[in-house]
Structure 1
């Protein structure tokens, strides 16, 4: 009888273990998301800070060749939110539905935290996160950037100076600063401009300004680049675009440049339609 009791206890224990194992399997995450279905995940965390989150949009019928467009908002390096890029996100999802989209937030500069290199580090963390999860989401490691204003500066700077594995296949700058050694910045006494630049760091030495300038980081390995600027922009001088255009031409890097002479730091109407048509063609050609 004693032996029967021991056998019963053992059988009960084994049954319980099997039951628990079955329950755990039922609740386990799938090893790979169904690539035939579209998938959206909001506020995915890629770091410990509340601002280190992004929204992820995966297309249906994706494969290991599916490319990812990363959207980077503006706001003078100290403000802004990924919601500011929702129009671009909606445009891409509607007009280019075969691409994955990642719309990112990043830590914002303040009196205790300068933008550089903090925000570049955040972009690197996003790229590393995507690489670590590319099999789960069924995407490739190839990426493109669409950035606006300060976000365009960060997109260019990361793509030119920090993409050590050459994953970036195209980058778009909409009114992005490119060269902080430009006299249009160095000699400008506008307090609004000076206040914005403080967010990048208090070091005003030429070597530092060159380090944070896409113009000075571009090489022959820079990815295809498309740029849009306004001739009446009060925050980003026209020379920020034209000098970058000339540098890419000198380096023989594929690029497109559009200047809207009568526009400021953004535009609507027919010029915005022109921007989206050119951007769509550039993305589909190079990414």
Structure 2
């Protein structure tokens, strides 16, 4: 237990500072499935940019029914690295050993490259690469997302608006922005919050902000969603989580919502243990 708690505390760092082949097409001898060992491949390239790489961790004894969790790091769409999610990856390998894990990098935004749709396109490419290599990896098409901060936004947006084959079985948001038309953003006087909006372009229409907001993309068929937010977060207003929970309820989407009143843009201790306990249980129901 001490080892697990120590690992959980380290997850705090990962919060960040600032599409279909048929499973039935696979023909694999059951004896081969039993003999499969744990396998990992690091920095698998899926594009020409140096940031277009991912790490994949394939569990022992996997089968064509083995589901995949995709980890998406934060960093305000302009920074961060897949290594920020290593602590999540490590504890998932320990506590959820039957799930394959894909820890991704994506192209980072700068003055010449806005995050949307570039980063969504990267996720689409990754999902297609996984499908194209399904025979080799021995995994199913069923996937889940776990994202933190900007990565949580990308995870929700792709799952709600771009999963054309309904492969996403669950999505987890840890302090992810959900609604860029929220007055807490559009009418803010906080230069840090304004910088977040400006990342997507200085002059953006309401229609554009709605297009890139998970809040405005939810439907009755959206995948089960689990949300975690901090009541004292300087970057993500409380309304981002509260309103998202309301929207999911309105559409009848299976979901869980946790708000830690005294937490900021990340947390440790008892609250972090609570996060992992809930996230693990949610994943066991919807992805294992």
1: distance between equivalents of 2:251 and 2:91?
31
2: distance between equivalents of 1:178 and 1:270?
26
C-alpha root-mean-square deviation of aligned residues, in Å?
1.4
Q: Which residue matches 2:252? A: 252
- Identify if the C-alpha distance between structure 1 residues 203 and 64 changes in structure 2 by more than 3 Å, giving closer, same or farther: farther
Which sections of structure 2, spanning at least 5 residues, go unmatched? 1-27
2: distance between equivalents of 1:79 and 1:197?
15
| Alignment map for 1:213-252 (pairs within 5 Å) | 213-252=213-252
Q: Which residue matches 1:147? A: 147
Give the Å deviation of 1:195.
1.5
Give the Å deviation of 1:155.
0.1
Q: Which residue matches 1:193? A: 193
Cα deviation per residue 1:2-56 (whole Å; 9 max; x = unaligned)?
xxxxxxxxxxxxxxxxxxxxxxxxxxxxx99976211010000011100000000
Cα deviation per residue 1:206-252 (whole Å; 9 max; x = unaligned)?
10000000000010010000000000000000000000000000000
Counterpart contact for 1:159–1:223, Cα < 8 Å: yes
Give the Å deviation of 1:274.
0.2
Give the Å deviation of 1:170.
0.2
1: distance between equivalents of 2:200 and 2:94?
35
1: distance between equivalents of 2:198 and 2:118?
14
**Structure whose alpha-carbon radius of gyration is higher:** 1
Q: Structure 1-normalised TM-score?
A: 0.88
Cα deviation per residue 1:79-115 (whole Å; 9 max; x = unaligned)?
0000000111011000000000000000000000000
Give the Å deviation of 1:189.
1.9
Q: Structure 2-normalised TM-score?
A: 0.87
Q: Which residue matches 1:123? A: 123
Q: Which residue matches 1:164? A: 164
Moved over 4 A (4+): 31-35
The higher relative CO (CA closer than 8 Å, separation ≥ 6) is in: 2
Cα deviation per residue 1:60-84 (whole Å; 9 max; x = unaligned)?
0000000000000000000000000
| Alignment map for 1:1-287 (pairs within 5 Å) | 36-287=36-287
Give the Å deviation of 1:197.
2.1
Give the Å deviation of 1:203.
3.9
Which sections of structure 1, spanning at least 5 residues, go unmatched? 1-30
